[in-house]
Structure 1
Amino acid sequence: MTEFAVVCPPYYSHMRLFEALAEELRCRGHGVHFIVNAGAAEMISAAGEGIFVHEVGRRSRHDLDRLIARAAGGGTPLAVLRTVRDAARLTEDLCREAPALCRELDVTAMVGDQMEPAAGLIARHLGLPLVSVASALPVHDDPTVPLPFLGWPYDPSETGLKRNRGGVTVAGLLLARQKKTIVRWANVFDLPGIATLGDCLSTTCQISQLADGFDFPRQPSPIRHAVGPIRRRGLDEAGLPIRRDPARPLVFVSFGTLQGHRLRLFRKIAKACQRVGADCVVAHCGGLTEAEAATIGARLVTDFVPQRAMLAEADVCVTHAGMNTVLDALEAGTPMLAIPMAFDQPGIAARIVHHGVGLRLTRGHLSTRSIAACLERLLRMSSFTDNVLRIGRDIQRSGGVKLAGDIIERAVAAPGAFERPAGRDSHVGT
C-alpha cells in the first residue's frame, strides 16, 4: 500500500479532479492525504475512510475566498500579476510546512497539480516519486505550441515559432514572482537547477485529462499520458429541471464557478438566443443573487444543473472555455461558442477553433448581434456537430480516472520512480 500526498491549488475545478483521483486510489487500497492551504479543507467533499485532509498555513476561509475572487477578475496583465503573487504566497505556505507533515504522515509518493510548484519541490526534497497531473491545459515544452494562457493559433512556421518565443519572454516577466518563490525554496531544499514551474514537473509521469485528439499536434513522450476527463466513478446526475421544446433549439450557458457573476453577458446571450429563436438555460453556479438572475430573460436561470445531462440535450453550449465544461460538451457532441476570460481559457478556445468544434468571441467583441451571428452559424452548419462527435467518441473511449489510477500505480512502483533534479521539460516562466 502506498501513502499518497495530494497537493493542488484551492480552486473548485482542480479540487473535483483530485477528489476523483483520491477516491480511485483509496478504492485500490492506498492511503490518501490531501495537503491543502488553510481554509481549503471544507472545499473537499471526499474526506472519509482512507482519505484525510490536512491544512497548512494560517489563512482563514475568508482570506482564501478573497484570493479566489481576485483570480476570477480576468486576464489583464494586472490581474495576472495579482494572481501570480497570490499563488506564490500559497506555494510559500506549502513549502514551509508540508515537508514536516509528509514525514509525520509517512507519505511515500506524491500526486501534484502541475500548477502548484510546491508539489515538485517537496517531492524532490523528500526523495518521493511524483506524478504531475494537469487539471488545466498541460504544461509541455514544445516550441510549436503557444503557452496555455495564450489564444494564439497553432502555427509551426518560422513566423509562429518566433511569435511563441516572444510569448515565453513575456511570460517570464509576468511570472517573475512565481520564479522568485521557486528559486528561494529550491535553495532552501538544496535543489540546484530548479527555477521555473516546468522544472517542478515530474520527470517520470505526467497525466492530462486533455484528449490527444483535442490538443494541438505535439511530439510524443513516454512520460506524458492523456487519459480524458477525470471524474468520480458512479457519479449519477439528477434529471433536468426543464422539458425542452422539440420545436426550438436549446442553448446552455455556463461560465463555471469562478465566472458565474457575469450578469451583463448573460443578458446579452439570452437576447441573442431570442433573436435566433432558441431557448436559453443559464447556470450561474451561485454567482448571482435571485434578484439578479430574474433580470436575465432566459427560459431557465438557476445556480446549478446536471451539466452532462444538460449538454446531452443542448444544441449549443456557450462557455468560458473551462476545461471541464469543454470536455463535457465534446463528450456530449455539443458544439460550443467560447468566450474565454482568464487562466488557460484562451488556449482552450484556440483548440475549439482549430478543431472546428465551435467558434470563439473575444471579450472586446461581445454584442447581442455578434453572439446571435455565432449561434446561428453553430445551429445551421452541420460540420461543427460532425467534428464534435468525432472527438467525443475518442473521449468516451479515453479511460478517465481508472486509467489514471493504473498509470499512477505503475509510475510509483517502477524502478527509478524517485524524482531527479530539474529536467528541462518546460520553458514556462523562463
Structure 2
Amino acid sequence: MSGFLFVVPPFVGHVNPVIGVADELRRRGHPVAWAGDERLLARLLPPDAAIHPCDPAPLPPRPESLRGFAAMRFLWEQVLVPLAVTMAPGVARAVGSAHPDVLVVDQQAFAGAFVAEREGLPWATAATTSAEFTDPLAGLPAVRGWLAEQVARVRSALGVPGVTDPRFSPHLVIGFTSGVLAGEVGEPVRLVGPVRGARSGLVHFPWDWLDPLCPLVFVSLGTVSTGSRFLRGCVEAMRARPWLQAVVVDRGGELRGDVPPPNVLVREEVPQLALLERASLVVCHAGHNTVCESLAQGVPLVVAPIRDDQPIVADQVVAAGAGVRLRFNRATAVHIGEAVDTVLREPSYWAGAERVRESFQRAGGARAAADHLESLLSA
C-alpha cells in the first residue's frame, strides 16, 4: 500500500487534529510515519507509531505583551524560520527511510513542503487554523512583501528554489473547519470539519466533583497562551454566580496558591474533549482547536482573542451567531460575567452553535480527509 509521512511542528495544537486522519489512513491499510519532535510525538501518538526525529532547535518563548505585527514578526523570525531550517535534515532523512508517496505537512512545518518540492513528491497542507483562508493581509502589501522575504530566506538556506508559498500546497489543502464557520473557500482547499483522534495518556480528573444539575462553564486559554488577570476575572465572575460550575484550565500554574470559590475547580491539566461533552458554555481565547472542538459539541462560546489567528476565528464565531466576543486585555470579571449570562440565556447562541455542529458533521471528518489524501495517490 502507498505510504504517508506526516510532518508536524513541536506544538500540541498542531499535532492533535491530524492524529485522527492518520488513524483513518492506517485503518485503510496505508503505512503512516511521522516526522517531528520525538519526545512530543511519543507522548501524543500510539506506542507503535513510526516516529522519525527531526530535532528542532529550542524555541524561545514569545513575550505575552507582543501584539499585531510585532507578534507576527517574532513568530516568523524567531520560531517558524529557524524551525524550518533545523527540521529540514530530519525530514529529508525520514523521506529517505520511510519512502512515502505523499507528505502531509502542517501549515507551520515549512521544512516538509520544501523537502517535498526538492524530492518531487506530492504534498498536502494540513491547515490547523482557517485564518489564512481569509487572506488577512490583502490590504497590507508591505507585510505581504516582508513575508515573501522570509520564505525566500528559508528557500535560500535550504537550497530549494521556487515561488510556492509553503503554507499552501498547490495539490491539496485540508482545513479542519466548515464553510458555515469559516466561509466559502476555493480550490485546492477542502474543508472536512474538526477531527477527533484517539489521544494517548490519561489525565486524572475528579468527575464526582461535577454536579449534573448545574450548568458547566469550561475556561481555557489553550496550550500556549497564558493570562492570569483574565483567568482570575473568570474565577471572580463564577464566584458571583454560585448556580454555575466552572472548570478553569491554568496550564502555567499562574493561579497556584489562589483559593477559588466552591463552584470553581482550577486544574493545570484536564481531559478537555470529555469535559466539552458536559459543558454548557466555553470561555476561551478563540484558539481554532478549542473553538472547533466546542462547536462540534454544539456548545456556544465567549471568546477573548489575544493575537495571531485568534481575532479572525473570534469574528467567525460571532458571525456564525455561536457566541460573543470580549477584549482580552480589558475584560473584567463584570464583563466576563455579563457575557456568560448573555450566552446562557439567549437561545440564538445555542442555535448558532448547533448550525455549526451540523455543518461539521456533514463535512466528513477523518474519512473525508483520508479520501482527499488518497486522491493524491492516483494524481
**TM-score using structure 1 length:** 0.78
Q: How does 1:115-264 map to 2 (within 5 A)?
A: 115-137=108-130, 139-140=132-133, 145-147=134-136, 165-173=138-146, 175=147, 178-185=150-157, 188-189=159-160, 191-194=161-164, 196-198=165-167, 201-218=168-185, 220-221=186-187, 223-232=188-197, 240-244=207-211, 246=213, 248-259=214-225, 261-264=226-229
Q: CA deviation at 1:312?
A: 3.3
Q: CA deviation at 1:110?
A: 0.6
Does structure 2 retain, via aligned residues, the 8 Å contact 1:319–1:338? yes
SS of residue in 1 equivalent to 2:21: helix
1:13 paired to 2:13: yes
CA distance 1:267–1:370, shift in 2 (3 Å): same
For residues 389 and 304 of structure 1, what CA distance do their matches in structure 2 show?
A: 28
SS of residue in 1 equivalent to 2:337: helix
For residues 100 and 7 of structure 2, what CA distance do their matches in structure 1 show?
A: 12
1:360 paired to 2:325: yes
CA distance 1:109–1:82, shift in 2 (3 Å): same
Match of 1:109 among 92, 98, 102: 102
Q: Equivalent residue for 1:291?
A: 256
Q: CA deviation at 1:38?
A: 6.7
For residues 328 and 97 of structure 1, what CA distance do their matches in structure 2 show?
A: 31
Q: CA deviation at 1:271?
A: 1.3
Q: Equivalent residue for 1:31?
A: 31
SS of residue in 2 equivalent to 1:385: helix
Q: CA deviation at 1:41?
A: 4.4
Does structure 2 retain, via aligned residues, the 8 Å contact 1:134–1:207? yes
Does structure 1 retain, via aligned residues, the 8 Å contact 2:249–2:270? no
Does structure 1 retain, via aligned residues, the 8 Å contact 2:192–2:364? yes
Q: How does 1:309-328 map to 2 (within 5 A)?
A: 309-328=274-293
1:87 paired to 2:85: no
- 1:330-363 CA-partner distances (Å, limit 9, x unpaired): 1222210001123311111010111111011122
Q: CA deviation at 1:318?
A: 0.2
For residues 291 and 377 of structure 2, what CA distance do their matches in structure 1 show?
A: 30
Q: Equivalent residue for 1:161?
A: none
Q: CA deviation at 1:270?
A: 1.6
Q: CA deviation at 1:243?
A: 2.7
SS of residue in 1 equivalent to 2:302: strand
SS of residue in 2 equivalent to 1:131: strand
For residues 199 and 85 of structure 2, what CA distance do their matches in structure 1 show?
A: 36
Moved more, 343-352 or 284-293: 284-293
CA distance 1:118–1:381, shift in 2 (3 Å): same
SS of residue in 2 equivalent to 1:291: coil
Q: How does 1:305-344 map to 2 (within 5 A)?
A: 305-344=270-309
Moved more, 280-289 or 234-243: 234-243
For residues 33 and 285 of structure 1, what CA distance do their matches in structure 2 show?
A: 33
Structure number with greater CO (CA < 8 Å, separation at least 6) is: 1
Q: CA deviation at 1:323?
A: 1.6
CA distance 1:137–1:41, shift in 2 (3 Å): same
Deviating 4+ runs (over 6 angstroms) = 234-239
- 1:297-329 CA-partner distances (Å, limit 9, x unpaired): 752112333333423332221011112211122
1:282 paired to 2:247: yes
For residues 403 and 92 of structure 1, what CA distance do their matches in structure 2 show?
A: 32
CA distance 1:211–1:129, shift in 2 (3 Å): same
For residues 212 and 254 of structure 2, what CA distance do their matches in structure 1 show?
A: 27
SS of residue in 1 equivalent to 2:363: coil
CA distance 1:177–1:244, shift in 2 (3 Å): farther
How large is the Cα RMSD of the aligned pairs?
A: 2.9
Indicate the percent of aligned positions where both proteins have the same amino acid.
25
Q: Structure 1 unaligned segments of length 5 or more: list them.
A: 148-163, 415-430
For residues 313 and 40 of structure 1, what CA distance do their matches in structure 2 show?
A: 28
Q: CA deviation at 1:36?
A: 1.4
Q: Equivalent residue for 1:375?
A: 340
Aligned residues: 376
